[in-house]
Amino acid sequence: MDNRPIGLMDSGLGGLSVVKKVIAKMPHEDTIFWGDQAHMPYGDRQQDEIISLARTGLNFLLSQNVKVVIFACNTMTAQAMPTLQAETDRQIIGVIQSGALLAAKKTRNLKVGVIATTATVESQDYTKEIHYRNQKIKVVEQATPKLAPLVEANEPAAVRQAIVSESLQPLVGADFDSLVLGCTHYPFIAKEIQAAVGPQVQLIDPADQVAQYTFNVLKRDGLLAQRQTAGQHQYFTTGQAASFSTMARAWLDQPDLTAQHLD
């Protein structure tokens, strides 16, 4: 048994969608979240920049003595995880394998769409991971670089819908039955995404499988927390702590949540 916290990190607020699932799955675990809002979005950056920025977050979480690290960011997973995993003996869990596994399981017509940042789409990691599970699945990936900043800006509903519909326009008419939300920001605009693609398409949120996989790893390695009380949760941002806290309270239903700023 191990009462050390679970570390999670993202380029901004999006990773909170994974935090929410992890807390629901493992309510007795402590968590520490690091969001690099000062440098988001990551999706338009070069790989060496992404690795350098992610290394900063990873080093911070390791300094907090976390027992496992979740890259709650598809771009980090695609562009930085292989390099940074080689630099630490702490296990890093990404989101892309989980999203690919869910998509491969749930598609009925063997046609899957993926929306993600430019960097994630260029890596083709979703196509590779889905084909690893089933070569017969046709995968269409679409870069939607406007969506993560849209979530961070917390725009009104009408603005969100207009930008989402515009971003997903190239996918209109495609006959995939499942759409992977390949950025952890996207679950927060799932309603607008669903409206844009239609009710016949099922949305795949990798966070569900990430939480389950993390639980499986901790159980396998004897690292589950021993306490019976609810876990404690800490939030750090390189951006504005006040605005982060306001949005995080609403998204996570934690009225007492207060984030701390990190330079």
Residue 209 structure tokens? 């499988």
- Give the separation between CA 56 and CA 259, rounded to whole angstroms: 18
Q: Choose the catalytic residue: 115, 183, 196, 248.
A: 183
What is the full per-residue pLDDT of the chain (263 aa) written as tens digits? 899 999 999 999 999 999 999 999 999 999 999 999 999 999 999 999 999 999 999 999 999 999 999 999 999 999 999 999 999 999 999 999 999 999 999 999 999 999 999 999 999 999 999 999 999 999 999 999 999 999 999 889 999 999 999 999 999 888 999 999 999 999 999 999 999 999 999 999 999 999 999 999 999 999 999 988 999 999 999 999 999 999 999 999 999 999 999 98
- Give the separation between CA 32 and CA 226, rounded to whole angstroms: 18
pTM: 0.94
Q: Choose the catalytic residue: 73, 93, 139, 218.
A: 73
Check if the beta carbon of residue 115 is closer than 8 Å to that of residue 181.
yes
Is 73 assigned a catalytic role? yes
Sign of CA dihedral 212, 213, 219, 222: negative
The amino acid occupying position 122 is E
Residue owning tokens 């006040």: 242
The pairing of beta strand 178-182 with beta strand 111-116: parallel
Is 64 assigned a catalytic role? no
Structural domains in the chain, CATH included, are 6-94+208-261 (3.40.50.1860), 96-206 (3.40.50.1860)
Residue 246 structure tokens? 């306001």
Cα atoms in the 13 Å half-sphere on the side-chain side of 34: 26
